[in-house]
Structure formats: structure tokens, C-alpha cells
A and B are shown apart, each in its own frame.
Chain A
């Protein structure tokens, strides 16, 4: 290949990119029940970012002043309904991130729940999808929904019904 040819032939990188891969569970069109782990990954990343953002904001707000009156004013502005929605999203994010985090720690550090290698047989479901981690994932989803509902009740009514 001579030099002019080399200059003309340009390859297309065709990368999906960080944001599309982190936010869009449908960039690769696999069905949810075929690969819920991907949805879990995206939710984990998003919830992690929400918590990290909150932590930063929290540190800035709490270190803003040491005057009790000014602090009182800050707390007042922070008790608007929109902040309650924000709190609810944060609570949901923490519940999901924590629960799924435990599952990920078990799977990624200790190789728990990913089955054993086996002879491929129809219907060709990979062992890692048949192992305990898949059941744990559904448990995480269900517990997160329950936790999210309970936290909504607690945040918007001020008390738990139980």
C-alpha cells in the first residue's frame, strides 16, 4: 500500500462509547429475560453516580456554614416537595446499589453463583445464567421495588404503616 492510498483509506472506529453503553440498555437488542444482568449493570452504574453526586452535594451543603440560624434557613429551603422526590430517588438508588453490590461482590470476587462448565446442550443456556446469581438478581429487583415503595411512604407521609 503506498502513501496516498494509506491516506485515503480511513477506517471507521464504530465505538458505542461510554454514555450509550452506560445509559441505554437497548444498544444491544437482547431481550430482558435473556440478559437482565445488563439492565442491572446499567442501573448499578446510574445509581452509583447518583449516590456519588449526592455525597458531594451533601458535603458541600453541610460544610457551608456553622451559624445555627443560617443552617435553619438551609434546612427550610431543603424541605420542599421536590427535594422529597429527590430523597426518594436517592433512597431507591442506595437500596438497589447496596443489594446489587452484595450480589456483585459475591460473583466478581468469589465466583459464587455462576454454575460449573458443562457440555453445551440445547437449549444452550450458558451456565452463568442458570446459576444462583440470576435468582439473586431477581431477588434484588423485587427487594429494591419493595424498599423503594416503603421509602416513598416514609418520606412522603413521615411514618411507616407498620
Chain B
């Protein structure tokens, strides 16, 4: 969740100069220490830009991990000013002000640190694997040799859409007070995904996942502190998913829960598709223009020398 104030702040120009206090870890010496970097900013600079600037111009030993730079891959999660955030989605202007230009950057909590800001997601991904994050059918051929898609109405899709947005960035995992003390806790991400597949009408094996999450280290460990939902950059809302999962496991153990509906394979079309001739739109044309002729002409853009030299 992005705070409204943060969204507002991101539109401002950041202070001219900021100080980044980066918590670094050196695996050779086993020491964690804080290093300060003073850098000049520009409008629209993100924390990831700032870290890359440091790496390129000040200290090439600073280690970070990132890939997409646009909040999609989930590699750049780190603790910025005490809150888990995506470095590429956090504007310097949103976390630093003229009065307080200090930004602290730390590796994610509760996840082993390999070096500086790079964390080891192996346990996190293992837990994600444990809940079997894929569609399972009674007849596996329906998935493995799928000829047709499974039926799913828009309403059924909305039930799980929110949860399917997870990018596995680990921010929720880092923020949760339960992962903080129980390294075996499945964590908000894996549990939310377990609910996502249990609630998915295309899936036929919810019982297999219920067995995995209904343990000491599963959904019942959660205390509904809600911080996972508060820090998730994709509004996945793991806290709500886990409570629904608990309700399901409770009622399942009482013998009162059965999956209401599983969808069937779409199968071949009952009626052949209608053929529609493609046409150029004619209702909003510039007078005298012939779209068919224009489509055949090559596009040429004239650059002036000035434009090219820029």
C-alpha cells in the first residue's frame, strides 16, 4: 500500500542533496556496518537510481539486486526509512525532505543477507513451492496436454485477481512479526498464494494445500497484525487471504467445508465464430484522407540537425 502522503510527496522535487545511510554486510568478515553517501539528486530519482549512482560513481563495491526497474520483477525489495519498500518504486522525494535529507537503506529483515542489500530468497521460494502454486486437476492431462481453456466467469476471476498480482518481492515476509520469530513460518506470501489456488475455480485439489497450510507453521500462526497488507506494493492483501484460509481450514476440519464449484474444460465451440471483415474507421477521418493509401506509404519523420545533436 502506498500512503496517500507518499504519493503526494513523490510529485515534489527532492532536496538538492541527500545522505544515504546504507547498512552493508561483508560476508568475508561477517560484519555489518553503516556507510554514508552524499549524493546530488534530480527530479524523479528513485532510491534504486540513487544506489546505482553510488555504485557507478562513488563506491563500486556496493551490491544491490534489481532487474526491471519498474516494480514488476520483485528483486529490489529493501528496508527504506524503516519500512519495506521496492527501491525502484520509491521516489527520493517521497522519503527525504529539505529538513531531513537522511535516508536509511537496509537489507530486508527475516531473510538471510548474502552481501550488502542482496538477500537470499531460497527459503522464501521453497515455501512458495510447498503450497503447490499451480492449477491441479483430478485428470492431469487437462493441464499437461490442454486443448481447451478452463471456464471462469469474470466474477470468479475477481475473487482471485487481487492475490494473483503478487510479484514475490518478500516485503510482506520481511514485515511480518511472525516470520520475525519463526523461521519456518510459511509467511504471508505463500499463504496468500495457497488461498489464491484454493479459491480458484479451475483448481480441483484444494485438500492437498489445506494439509500443507494447516500446521503449526502455517496459517494458524498468523496474528492478524496486518503489516503484510500495509507494506505490499501490489495491494495483494495477504492478511485477508490468510484469515479466509483459516476459516476454510477450520470448517474443513469440522467436515463442513467443500469446494463449492470447480469449473470444467471449455471444449470445442458450439457455434462457429462469426467472421467480421476488418474495416478502417471512417467516422472520424480528416477530410480528404484515404486510410488505405496511407497505410501503404512508408512513414518518414524529418529530423532537424538540432534534434539529432541533442
Cβ-defined contact, A37 with B226, below 8 A: yes
Which A residues lie within 8 Å of B234 (CB)? Answer: 120
- C-alpha spacing A118/B246, complex, angstroms: 20
Q: Note all chain A residues with C-beta closer than 8 A to B162.
A: 117-120, 127
**Number of CB contacts from chain A to chain B under 8 A:** 164
* B113 partner, pick from A12, A38, A109, A117, beta carbons under 8 A: A12
Chain B residues with CB below 8 A from A127, complex form = 162, 237, 240
- A111→B247 contact, CB < 8 A: yes
B7 at the binding interface (Cβ < 8 Å): yes
B210 interfacial contact with A, CB 8 Å: no
- Asked whether B81 is an interface residue with its Cβ less than 8 Å from the other chain, the reply is yes
Instruction: Give chain A residues whose Cβ lies under 8 Å from the Cβ of B244.
Output: 111, 114
Give, as a whole number of angstroms, the nearest-CB distance from A148 to chain B.
22
Query: Could you tell me if A38 and B177 are in contact, using CB atoms closer than 8 angstroms?
Result: yes
User: Who on chain B is nearest to A134 by CB?
Assistant: B226
Chain A residues touching B, range? 35 or more
Among A117, A118, A129, chain B packs the most CB atoms within 10 A around the CB of: A117
Q: Closest CB of chain A to B212's CB: distance in Å? A: 19
Kindly specify which of A17-25, A50-58, A65-73, A138-146 makes contact with the partner chain: A17-25
Q: Which residue of B lies closest to A15 (CB)?
A: B110
Within 8 A of B (CB), among A8-35: 8-18, 20-22, 26-31, 34-35
Q: Is B252 an interface position by the 8 A CB rule?
A: no
Is B120 positioned at the interface, with any CB of A under 8 Å from its CB? yes
Question: In the complex, A104 Cα to B246 Cα: how many Å?
Answer: 12
B197 at the interface (CB under 8 A from A): no
Q: Which residues of A contact B120 (CB under 8 A)?
A: 11
A26: chain B residues at CB < 8 Å are: 82
Closest chain B residue, CB of each to CB of A121: B235
Of all chain A residues, which has the CB nearest B158?
Answer: A117
* Bound Cα distance from A40 to B224, whole angstroms: 9
Q: Is the CB of B158 within 8 A of A120?
A: no
A interface footprint on B13-55 (CB within 8 Å = 1, 0 otherwise): 0000000000001011010100000000000000000000000
The reply to whether A21 and B177 form a contact with Cβ atoms under 8 Å apart is: yes
**CB distance A38 to B243 under 8 Å?**
no
Q: What are the 4 tightest A-B residue pairs by CB atom distance, in nearest-first order?
A: A29-B82, A37-B226, A16-B180, A18-B181
Footprint of A on B, CB under 8 Å? 1-4, 7, 25, 27-28, 30, 32, 81-84, 107-114, 119-120, 158-163, 165, 175, 177-178, 180-181, 183, 222-227, 229-232, 234-237, 239-240, 243-244, 246-247, 250
Listed in ascending order, the chain A residues whose CB lies under 8 Å from chain B are 8-18, 20-22, 26-31, 34-35, 37-38, 40-42, 44-45, 104, 107-111, 114-115, 117-120, 122-129, 131
